[in-house]
Structure 1
Amino acid sequence: MKRLIPPTSLLTFALLALGLAVTPGQAQPTGRSGRDAAGSTITPAGNPSALIAAEIAFARAAQDRGQWAAFDAFAAEEAQLFVPQRTLAKPWLRKQANPAQAVKWQVQQAWISCDGTAGVTFGAYQGAGDANGWFSTVWQRQRKKGNYLWLLDQGDALSTPLPSVDWIEGKVADCPPHHHAQMPDESAQPPARKPAGGKSPPPPLPPLPGPVPAAQAVAGADTSDGRSDDGSLVWRTSVAADGARDTHVWLWKDGTMSEVLHRTAAAPNPAHGG
């Protein structure tokens, strides 16, 4: 499923979305996807507009409240940054002073799992002077309140800015053959007995999507995988000893895990201050 949102409507969209659910502590709509008791397909609960709204609120908070204060406010407790090695975000953020000029950014693409439990955004940023680059953020829907907080944030400088877009592209993963979040591995369950009525039991449910190709992992690097509850969105981040990074995002589409984002970041250059 693909949705397109024109940037010219973002202010109106953001105001409406913010009234619903994008700031920390407010609730997002929740739901389940997969098949109901009768076997009928349920509409995906993933909503890329919610991720776009969260990014808009996050970016605005950086201007209103200060860059690192906003990062802290929108971060999940287990959120991570690369500085340049993988670092737990909140303890690091709370030691940072807000820069005089906060970075600005604009989301260009969003991908979300079928069940809406996780999503990824991608876009352009502008820093002090003529600095610019790309960013990518993993978002996680919070179980208690249903709001989205960021789980993994990163980016890298670019010599040429990303081209602007006429439409923000949002994609929802296909629903897996079944969606039972946090269900046990059914392959380990004993076979079902034939009921007394003589009818054969239904076939076992297929496994959740994935895994993603193991060959994509970077040898010798600190590599970590994450996935939505239903497995329809998967991400992998690797950081080498020198701080160089490699990021992949896969989405469950047409019966396979399709790569939708791949970005690399060079090792920081100490001569350039980072």
Structure 2
Amino acid sequence: MRGGSAVAALATLTLAACTMGPDYKNMPGYGQGSGERIDGSRLGGYANPSEVAATDIAFSRAARDDGQWTAFRRFAADGAVIHGRNGPIDADPWLAAQDDPPAPVQWTPTAVWSSCDGSVAVTQGKFAEPEGQWGYYVTVWERQRDGRYRWVYDMGAPDDQLTAAENARRDSTPTGENAIVIRAIEAIEGRVADCSRSYEAVDISNISAEVSETGGRSSRDNTLAWGWAQFADGRRTLNLLVARNGSWEQALQFRINSDGKHVSDQ
């Protein structure tokens, strides 16, 4: 998950949210009965990273407008899990017991990876807590039978470098009645796995003596694979592999230290 108020509620979770985006209530990712009907031809198998990004943005807008945990429940797939400090927990019973906080975490995706057939996609982005702390998150999405994307896995953590950079940028923003501030909308990078050949299934479980638990799975067409690992000391990782040019390429390694902080590669 993502965010500070979440950590305060359950000291194991991190969450995210975004204040900008399209009218989410008219998007395919919103609600169970809204949006246009999607027929079976839509499920035949093609990547659509822009739809995944739009769904993540709709998710964040719903968190702001309708309530943080209400949105998490609405956009979750059956069997979704949230990876906390002590390992993944079943989202459904945990979310059912949560009341929406007065101020939600805000988040936005910055990158999307999709399998060739679009059955599985992964978003990475950054979040801001109401108290001013920033961090990164990663969410795994699966296309459902009705064609909509729903999240199946979520993990995130505060990042000290990002917090310092964002707060410094905020402090340097001009103020006053004559100030004009234009904040650029962050570009979202979309990547699709190789569709030109078939690939063997791959096991990316991070096996070592320090790992206490692992999990994950592949897309239906075996062009994207993701796996998480839980370490005995509280460290957590998610590894993402994408098929490219005849082999498997590591597209992302998302790491959280035992102190609950995101490990920045910068």
Report TM bin, short chain. Answer: 0.7 to 0.9
Aligned positions of 1:81-160 closer than 5 A: 81-84=82-85, 85-143=87-145, 145-160=146-161
1:32 aligns with 2:44: yes
**Could you tell me how far apart the structure 1 residues matched to 2:140 and 2:257 are?**
20
Which residue does 1:75 correspond to in 2?
A: 76
SS across alignment from 2:82:
strand
- Identical amino acids, percent of aligned pairs: 31
Q: Tell me which amino acid in the other structure corresponds to 2:238.
A: T
Over 3 Å counting, the alpha-carbon distance change for 1:212 and 1:165 in structure 2 is farther
**Which SS does the other structure have where 2:58 is aligned?**
helix
Aligned-residue offset at 1:210: 3.5
Contact kept, 8 Å, 1:24 with 1:149, in 2: the verdict is no
Aligned partners of 2:230 and 2:237 also within 8 Å: yes
Asked if the contact 2:204/2:239 (under 8 Å) is kept, the reply is no
- The question of whether the paired residues in 2 share the 8 Å contact of 1:176 and 1:232 is answered with no
Please, what TM-score do these two structures have when normalized by structure 1? Answer: 0.72
Residues 155-166 of structure 1: pairs in structure 2 closer than 5 A: 155-161=156-162, 166=186
Equivalent residue number for residue 170 of structure 2: none
Query: Are the aligned partners of 1:21 and 1:28 in contact in 2 as well (CA < 8 Å)?
Result: no
1:260 equivalent in alignment to 2:251: yes
1:175 aligns with 2:195: yes
What is the Cα deviation at residue 251 of structure 1?
0.7
Aligned-pair distance for 1:217? Answer: 3.2
Which residue of the partner structure matches residue 182 of structure 1?
none
Give, in angstroms, the shift of residue 100 of structure 1. 1.6
Tell me which residue corresponds to 2:217. Answer: 226
For 1:74, the aligned partner's letter is F
Flag the 1:242–1:94 CA change in 2: closer, same or farther, 3 A.
farther
User: 1:217 is aligned with what amino acid?
Assistant: I
Q: Relative to 1, partners in 2 of residues 1:258 and 1:94: Cα closer, same or farther, differing over 3 Å? A: same
- The code of the aligned residue for 1:238 comes to A
In structure 1, C-alpha distance between the alignment counterparts of 2:255 and 2:78, rounded to whole Å? 26
Q: Which has the larger radius of gyration?
A: 1
> C-alpha separation between the residues in 2 aligned to 1:140 and 1:176?
22
Which letter maps to 1:173? A
* Secondary structure in structure 2 of the residue aligned to 1:221: strand
Task: Count the aligned residue pairs.
Answer: 215
The CA deviation at 1:221 is: 2.1
| Paired AA for residue 64 in structure 1 | D
List per-residue Cα deviations over 1:220-259 (Å, max 9, x = no partner). 3210021111111100101123331011001111111111
Deviations 1:192-241 (A, max 9, x none): xxxxxxxxxxxxxxxx4331455x43433210021111111100101123
SS of equivalent to 2:60: helix
**Whole-angstrom distance in 1 between the partners of 2:204 and 2:78:** 29
CA drift of 1:112 comes to: 0.6
Change beyond 3 A, Cα 1:97–1:78: same
Q: Of 18, 26, 30, which residue of structure 2 is paired with 1:19?
A: 26
Coordinate RMSD, CA, aligned: 2.3
d(CA) in 2 for partners of 1:128 and 1:19? 27
Give, in whole Å, the separation in 2 of the partners of 1:20 and 1:234. Answer: 27
AA aligned opposite 2:134: N
Q: Distance between the aligned counterparts of 1:250 and 1:113, measured in 2?
A: 10
Aligned equivalent of 1:47:
48
- The CA deviation at 1:28 is 5.5
The answer to which of 115-124 and 76-85 deviates more is 76-85
Moved over 4 A (4+): 26-29, 162-166
Taking a change above 3 Å as real, the CA distance of residues 148 and 24 of structure 1, as seen in their structure-2 partners, is farther
5+ unaligned residues in a row in structure 1: which ranges? 1-9, 34-44, 179-207, 270-274
